[in-house]
Amino acid sequence: MSQKRILFTGGGTAGHVIVNLALIPEFQKQGYTVDYIGSYEGIERQLIESMEGVTYHGISTGKLRRYMSKENLKDPFKVMKGLLQALRIIGKRKPQVIFSKGGFVSVPVVAAAKLRSVPTIIHESDYTPGLANKLSFPFAKKILATFPETMNHLPEDKGEYIGAVVRDELFEGKRAKGLSYCGFHKQKPVILVMGGSTGSKALNDAVRHNLDELLKDVQVVHLCGKGHKDPSIKRQGYAQFEYVNEELKDLFAATDYIVSRAGSNAIFEFLALKKPMLLIPLSRKVSRGDQILNADSFVKQGYAHKLEEEELTDGRFLKEIHELMANKEKLLSQMESYQSQKTKDKVISIIQKYEKSK
């Protein structure tokens, strides 16, 4: 019997990798050889290279900036180099299907797959498609959406709403292990603050400026991003980490409330785990506004509270934290109505449906 092969791509942020992390072990169980194309130094390399049985291939990638920069002159050459590298890798590894989670590195891969006649399935996590995925849509066989509203932004003949893919291991966390990892006790609730895989200065500052007041009522787990720990802060009830991987499931189990940016993959994981959340989405000044739309959707459904970054003052931050805690039962009640579908199984079925026969 011929070897089954699948290639994954996606990167730039953890959000462009998380779904791949959930899917790869399932394909490995079914006997697939797994390859992954990412950037040379992106977070995807850190997350994927440690996975047993996955061959990681780094390629050149541009940033596809929306603003003026001299780097824009270099990026077309980087993308072209990445396309040639992806063509060579796909030609050598001969995957039967490719699954793309987006991010700039995925564009040359999806284009190369089209040139090599290898079917590609794209997964769009956000409410509206990002630029990288938009550029990749013409080369894809199928585009899967996390939000039903996203279907309005996808080609009619390619789009399909499937919901969110959530990692199974997140449900296996142990509260006692999470509390022990942070040096916490059981007497106070725990708030987990996370600003995305690269961290958020706005959220970091809000936590640290209000730490004395916060610690009167809660214990704080602070995922502050690489290079953003403050070693001068040593307080009982406060634990800070740049980034966690294996320990995340236990931290989630120990957590009563979450304060976070509003990346789609993350907030759907919070929802599946039934964690009341205060979302502080990236400002439109530094993004295309996708996180604001994600957060608005969750607020509308009663799953979350939202605070715009432009309104993030010390006093407002504390006020929103207290309101979140006061509304815990109402939020949990709304979350109970959310049925976590067998999305992962559906995605696997769709990918296999489009596999190219050898």
Residues in CB range of 250: below 8 A, 6 or more apart:
173, 174, 175, 177, 178, 181
pLDDT value, residue 1: 47
Q: Which residue in the block uniquely carries the two structure tokens 């409410």?
A: 127
- Non-local CB neighbours of 140 within 8 Å, separated by 6+ positions: 100, 110, 120, 121, 122, 158
* Cβ atoms 49, 56 nearer than 8 A: yes
pLDDT score recorded for residue 305: 98
- pLDDT at site 289: 83
Q: Are 219 and 207 in contact (CB under 8 A)?
A: no
Q: Using CA atoms, how far apart are residues 55 and 48, in angstroms rounded to an integer? A: 9
The residues of the chain scoring below 70 in pLDDT are 1-2, 63-74, 340-341, 357-358
Q: Classify burial at 300, counting beta carbons within 10 Å of its beta carbon; exposed 0-12, middle 13-18, buried 19 or more.
A: exposed
Per-residue confidence (pLDDT) for residue 76, from 0 to 100: 78
Token representation of residue 327: 């509304």
For 236, other C-beta atoms within 10 Å of its C-beta total 10
State the Cα–Cα distance between residues 6 and 358, nearest whole angstrom: 12
First-residue to last-residue Cα distance in the chain: 11
Task: Please give the backbone phi and psi of residue 73, each rounded to the nearest 5 degrees, phi first.
Answer: -70, -30
**Sheet strand arrangement including 142-145:** 54-59, 33-39, 5-9, 97-100, 120-124, 142-145, 159-161
Residue 291 CB contacts under 8 Å (≥ 6 apart), including other chains: 126, 261, 262, 263, 279, 281, 282
Nearest residue to 346 via CA among 155, 153, 139, 142: 142
Q: How big is the chain by its Cα radius of gyration, in Å?
A: 21
CA atoms of 37 and 229, how far apart (whole Å): 30
What pLDDT sits at residue 342?
A: 80
Strand partners, 8: 36, 99
